[in-house]
Structure 1
């Protein structure tokens, strides 16, 4: 049985991916900042670890406790929607700490054991916002676009050691409550001058033509982990697939 460590498993894509890999008879290490009770079925194949990807000591302790890791899925992330002009730099830094530097720190922490074994896979979950510009999401898109470039370069770097680096690019899933897991409320980031522009965009968010389900992301992670073709990007969800074809 192979072992997969997934960050950000308290809800959404991470939780669904953990459940999916458990159903495939994998050993799953589900990590989150504050593990709630009862979110995953009790199983000998499951371990739940406390992990804050913005804290180096927390990362080191979690990776040490995890032991052998065949696959790392960097899923933990936070969102922000609003006019860039009104987004505090402190909040932008918080988004990058989780979405960008947290991914890099986790990746650095697991590479040595994978390199020593000359096997492994690292899957970084980004966003369909990297496939096509999305208004009112400049800071968020930048944090995810950085990981796109990072992973593309890393794939070449680690291929020498038979370690795969992959991207999963989910579309918009209303059930993930995008931008609600931050300390700044969305409406505070829409100045009056932007109100007329932002209104129709938020209406589209409320009733999107195409969306992504959590299972779409879990299945895309599965395809990425098992890919032998050298494919780097795996769009997840009907909307992400449409954007990837149009790109």
Structure 2
């Protein structure tokens, strides 16, 4: 049976490539962006495509988009929370307003769309939610501390959500891409902190310069990532986390090794903190 996908941030990048792949596979798509015209410009028209405006930070818009989707297709099978952007700058360089805007889109907007779709999935007793995180969701990078904070939040939200909805027949997968060749690093997508502090030039400054130099040269192919989404959506037992791209896999392996190396010298102290006389468990 064909599926109905609801994709946020579908005007460009991973979202647009995924929408094209879904349509090519014969499924239907509710493709959203801040302007429906931009979605149509990116994807064209089809009787299996519904382009609808959605600013994930605007109260009421997620619910409106879901109502329109149900009016057109009658159901939603797959939700892809893809809308988001990167804020580049050291934490001290990022203003409270810049940080709040980053969280409003990447975390609170994702949560708002998920809450709007969940009643549909619960009624169906089926569905699959994909939350797009990042390699920055398990590893912090200098100059991307704010962005990493939002993606770490997405990881925790998604893992808890997965436990909540599993008994209801709903699956959750966190997708953790590395660098893919999209417009994510372009000046009209990435946001750079307005304040620049010279003391951070070797860290956050290097991230600024590196991001601009990498734009257009990223290793990952977004068309292949779109096909990976289709494979995961068809799986009987999809993973909770899917780390996407060679660079992301290498970063994950390094992160896991570093965490263990950091823990071991302090392990005795860590496990010595129980009340005296408490039963002692075994460490594996």
Could you tell me the TM-score, scaled by structure 2's length? 0.80
1:99 aligns with 2:106: yes
1:22 aligns with 2:26: no
Q: Distance in 1 between matches of 2:245 and 2:95?
A: 31
Q: How far off is 1:241 after superposition?
A: 2.3
Q: Is the 8 A contact 2:6 2:29 kept in 1?
A: yes
1:129 aligns with 2:136: yes
Which structure 2 segments of 5+ residues have no match?
257-284
Q: Distance in 1 between matches of 2:245 and 2:196?
A: 28
Counterpart among 186, 205, 215 of residue 223 in structure 2? 215
1:82 aligns with 2:89: yes
CA change 1:22–1:230 in 2 (3 A) is closer
Which structure 1 segments of 5+ residues have no match?
none
Q: Is the 8 A contact 1:216 1:237 kept in 2?
A: no
Q: How far off is 1:220 after superposition?
A: 3.1
Q: Distance in 1 between matches of 2:219 and 2:140?
A: 16
Counterpart among 186, 194, 207 of residue 192 in structure 2? 186
Residues 156-213 of structure 1, C-alpha deviations (whole Å, 9 max, x = no match): 110101100111111123532337346x952634312222334544454324996322
Q: Distance in 1 between matches of 2:191 and 2:237?
A: 42
- The number of equivalent residue pairs is 246
Q: Distance in 1 between matches of 2:238 and 2:182?
A: 31
Residues 7-57 of structure 1, C-alpha deviations (whole Å, 9 max, x = no match): 001110100110011111100111000132421132111110111111122
Q: Distance in 1 between matches of 2:179 and 2:238?
A: 26
Q: How far off is 1:126 after superposition?
A: 0.8
Question: Considering only aligned residues, what root-mean-square deviation do their CA atoms show, in Å?
Answer: 2.1
Residues 201-245 of structure 1, C-alpha deviations (whole Å, 9 max, x = no match): 445432499632222431332233223235111112221122233
Q: Which moved more, 1:202-211 or 1:9-18?
A: 202-211
Counterpart among 223, 232, 237 of residue 224 in structure 1? 232
Counterpart among 230, 236, 240 of residue 244 in structure 2? 236
Residues 46-82 of structure 1, C-alpha deviations (whole Å, 9 max, x = no match): 1101111111221111110001111110000021011
Correspondence 1:195-214 to 2 at 5 A: 195-205=201-211, 206-207=213-214, 211-214=219-222
Q: Is the 8 A contact 1:168 1:220 kept in 2?
A: no
2:67 aligned residue: 64
1:32 aligned residue: 33
| Larger RCO (alpha carbons 8 Å, 6+ apart) | 1
Q: Distance in 2 between matches of 1:43 and 1:216?
A: 23
